[in-house]
Every structure is written in C-alpha cells, then in structure tokens.
Structure 1
C-alpha cells in the first residue's frame, strides 16, 4: 500500500465577519485579497514546506499537493512551484500532484515543460495528476465552464503526446492549436510519469479513467457510494480487457494522531475551519458549479450509472456542513491516539481496499506544533502498522503491481 501525506495548506487569519462582508458572502473567488497578509504568508509557506520535508523523514511514500485559486482555504495557487522546491529538498518520496486543473490552461505545452523539469529535478519521482478543477477555477481564469470536460480531455491528450512523441509536430484541435509542438525538455520517466486522477466520482470521469487504466483517488467520498463508483470503474475496465485491483484505487481521508484520544479530539476540531473556511459559510452554488460546468451528457449509459451511485448520508452540504461528532462517528475522519487510529483505519481499509491511501494530516487552525507531533506519531506507530495491514489485506499499490509485472510474478 502506498502512503502519501497531504494538507490543503490553509490560511485562517481572517474572521467570519470578513466572509459575511465579502461579495455574496463567499470565501472563494470574491473574498478580497485585502484580507491576506503576505508576512503571514511568508511564515505559512515555509512552515508547510518544512512539514512536507519532515514527512519524508517519518517515512511517507509520497508528498501530495493540490491547487486552488482565489481562496484562503488552499495556499497552493501554484502547486508546481511547491513541487519543484520539494523535488530539490527531498530525496525519496514521490511528488504526487493531484492535480493540475487542465481546463484552465490556455497553453498546455508550458505545463508539459514544467512537469518535465520537476520529474528531472526529482530524479523521476513525479506522479502527475490532472483534474477538471472546481467551478471557482473556471470563473477565476475566465474559462468557459461549458467546455470544461472537452478542454480537460484535449489538454490531457496534448500533454501526453508532447511527452511521448518526438517533435516538432503540429496540433490542430477544437480548443488548442499549435503550429509547432517541440518542447526541448521531456520527462525522465518513460514513456511518461504515472498519471493518477482524483475526484468525487462523476461517472464520466470514472469511465474515462478506467479506459486509460489510470488509478482513481476518491476524495473523502461516502463508503457505500464509493463501492458503487468502484463498480462503475470495474465494469469499464473489464470491457477494456483487464481486472482492476487495489492498485487502481486510492482514498483520501483526514487522519490526525495525538498521544491521547482526548487531545486528538480537541486538536482535530481545527479541520472545521480549513477546507470550508472560517465561519463555515456555504459557498454560493453557482460558484461551485456555474452554468455549463456539470455534465450535459444525455447518454443513457451515464444516466444509468449516475442512478447506480447511492446518495451520501451527508447529502445536504456534505462534510462541510456536518457536525464534528457526526463526521467522526461515520469514520469519514479518523482522529485519536495511535491505537484508536489504527483500529479505525483497519475497518476503513478492509471495506474500501485502496492501494493508495492519502493521509490528510492537518488543516485549518491545527497548529504547527500539533502537526509535527501528529507526523512524529504517524512515523513511529501508525505507518509501520498500516504497512502490515496493507500486506495482510493484499492492498497492492501501482508501483508494487508494476514490479510484479516486470518480474513476471
């Protein structure tokens, strides 16, 4: 099982009143950057990078980064820059980007070059993930949401051809046209870095991932719904001649460890002001899903697949509006002492069976001191036991699967 560490890298130096006074009471897109203190940003960026470097020391297999725009809930506005720094300052863990929002790039060739440099600087440790991005990303970059999926797929195809086909060649697509495609820098890994796709389970993306044999990383999704979504992936995979295993699936879950259950419970409340923002004020619906952003497919297959996925018990507002104790009782977040965390994770892993586990260790108002203690306990007590559970449950990850195939076993 592949174990990677993640945090959204939030900025929380503002108040609920600040959000209430923003246009449309939104903490994303229209929340004024007058609420941002660059001096505090200087401290936070370096703190988060220090925490990622320490994550290598405690034994994580991967360092996961993401990207969002126009929001204090994620300081990773230029994820590839952070990745380049970590590529130089770490030596062993994979640099996992989940991921670059392809539809907002007007020049995917520049993205292909950036990722190639990261792969070379890191010595071939890049895992390149791609996403459609939230509705906010489209609005923030003036990208027509109507073409989000089309641009995603075409940009993906262009980046892959750029990495794998010697130039110069010409690209004449619907959304991208280049007379000369010939970036001089190409990735170290051949034919290209691994590609993983994160998401919350749209049938179109699940089918697309299975068609490409890309691992799909479920982002804090409901266990029952995840089981249904995995079956959609598996159905498509079988149509394309392979049987998916744990190596085709990942799961992101918030896990925070402290010396005692009581301490962890108290510290873990800091998550509540991270991803949704201080005050936990719901984002306007048209910000999250602007007109045209959602699926327009009337394909009977996708309509059938959509109906196949059971509803999330937290169907109104999701985890962002749920009560803290409700989330913990549902095992959607796992917070406690090392023994408690390992016991609850065994349940989750037995049911979800991911070959890739993304551990969201801290966010929001969780302090640097508490984060470092969490990471220390993860390295000393949790990660070794998770590896044993992974072996016991035969949760093969993509790199283990590749090694097995190469050895013929």
Structure 2
C-alpha cells in the first residue's frame, strides 16, 4: 500500500544512501518524481538542515538534460525531504565497463559539470553511483547535498560525505575545496568508465586515500584522446586542473547555459503546480495547502480521459478506412461498420451523460465529433481512393496498431 508524504504518493523504495532513502513517487499532477527522505540522524541536525535549506534555492537553479533538477523541498517536520526529477536507468557503477560510447558519456558529464558550476553549486560527491545512465546518456543526481550537509555533527552521526577514490586530495586533507574538487571527481569517474577499474585501486578507505594524495592514478587502457585530459583533471594541485568550461571546450561540447532563472517565493505564498507559468518555483508543502493541488485521483482521471480520446480517434480512423474500402463492393458491410462504431460511441456518450466526471461535457462533444468525423471521412476516402488502395491502407493500419499494442 502506498504512503503519502506531503502532496506526494510514495510508490516504491529505489535505494538508500548516506543521507536518505530515495522513493519513486507521484506528484500532485500524477507525474513520477524521486523523493529523497533524509535519514533520522540527518533530520536531527538542525544546523545541517538550515544550511541545506539555504542551498536548495541555489540548487534549484541548476538545469539541463544531464542533471536531475531539484523540483521541491520540505525541510521542516519529522521527515524532511527533497524532490528531484526521476531518472529511469541504472547507475554507472552498475553498467558494464569500459563504457561503449565513451565520448557521449564524457560530453554529458562535462555538460552536467558546467551546469552545476555556472549556478555556483559544488557536487562534492560525484562518483559512478551518482551518475544515472539512461539510453547511453549520463544524468548526474544528488548534486549539492553532500556539500550542504558536510558538517561535523552529520559526519559523526554516520553519514559518509564522499567516497575515497573519487574525493579530491584537498578534501581528504581537510583543506578548503571548491569547484576544482568536482573536476577531480569528474576525472576519476570518467577514468573508471574508460578503463573499467578504480583509478586508485581497491582496498581499505585509508589506503585508497593515501594513494589519491601520494600516487598517480591508474589510467592504463584509457584512449589516447582522453588520457591527457584525465591526467590534468586528476592533478594533485587544484590550480593545475582545468575548469568545467575548459573541459567542455576540449571535448567539443557546445557551451549552453542551463541556469534556471527562478524568482524566490515569498513566505506564505500559495503553492503552485509545476505546470504553471512559474514552472521552476520551489513548491514546498505546508499543512493545510493540499486543497491547492490536484489529487492523485484527479490526475489519474485526466490521464484516463486523454487515453480514451486517443483510442476514440484511432478507432474512428480505422473504422472509416475499413468502411471506405468496403463501400463499393460490400455496401452492407460498410454500413454495418459505421453503425456499430456509432452505437459504441453513443453508448459511451450515454454513460458520460449520467456520470459525475468533471470531463463529461468534453467527453460528449468528443464522442459526437468522432462519429461525424468517421462518417465524413469514410465517404471522402471512398470518393478519392480505389478499393484496393483503401484495403491496403486498412491492412497497414491494422498491423501498425497490433505492433503498437504489443510494444505498449
């Protein structure tokens, strides 16, 4: 049975990390999103939550096809959570490596890095597990969270801020770290994808951290076009690493600004749906505001109505093709097909007339238009096309329809 958290319906648990559990969920519009519910020991750290709340306004400015945008956040109450775009796929850490299309991966990661740094967001925990692969394209998730929650109390509570082997030397040594640390993590992640091995080997975390600080990375097997860039990104000195813009230039990635221009929402302002004009406004749930949002049931009803109309149009086109093909040799069959279609659609209209659906008026209009359209199209097609051509069209439409249904 599904669980509700604010306006979201949690459907299933996707996984768990150092900071929280991730759930697949439906928002108030019936769309899938990813909801990260912070762990209790993280939620108990008031200072960390306050810092995260400040960072969310910056994090939600990060946009683009290669990042999972922050859509919503509620950091008050017993179960604070963040909401991001849901990315269907597998993490880079779970796909076969070396990656087949390495240029596509490198370009996508570079674009994500530029998008974050343009918005002045530091990921701080970029690694293969935080790169989702969907149809060969990378999408970076969880950006900014590790940086915002990197406090002594959170770390002491058990959350691991970063992963040895992908953390920059300055982070491991406790020095101040900026965007250059993400460049190091980018290089380590891409090196893993290119060689199929951890760039600093395996073993205890302390041993890996020592190699990061004192030894060069293992880049054997990396292609010649990529190896020099990886060495620069994995330089021990942060100043020697290239910037995200320079990486994009080296890889031939067109620099496109993905900064989302969002206006801060005034305190107490009503919640607005993401389909509104101000699509990018942070939609924080507060008790008593559910009435401003569509219920999941209403969203599902809207979806069912859209599917019904598409089926109505598709079936009307198919029936009109069949009737037009049969009109000359078998006029009785053509009349039967049109009458059967009309009867079925009018029955649906009668059901809509006595239903309490908010879409009944539109449903009645669509039914009447579909009947008139099917009859008119039948006579029009039979006038301009031969019986053989129409039969060929109908057969093709039948095959395409069957293939579509089977694939769906």
TM-score calculated relative to the size of structure 1: 0.29
Greater relative CO, 1 or 2 (CA 8 Å, sep 6+): 1
Bigger radius of gyration, 1 or 2?
2
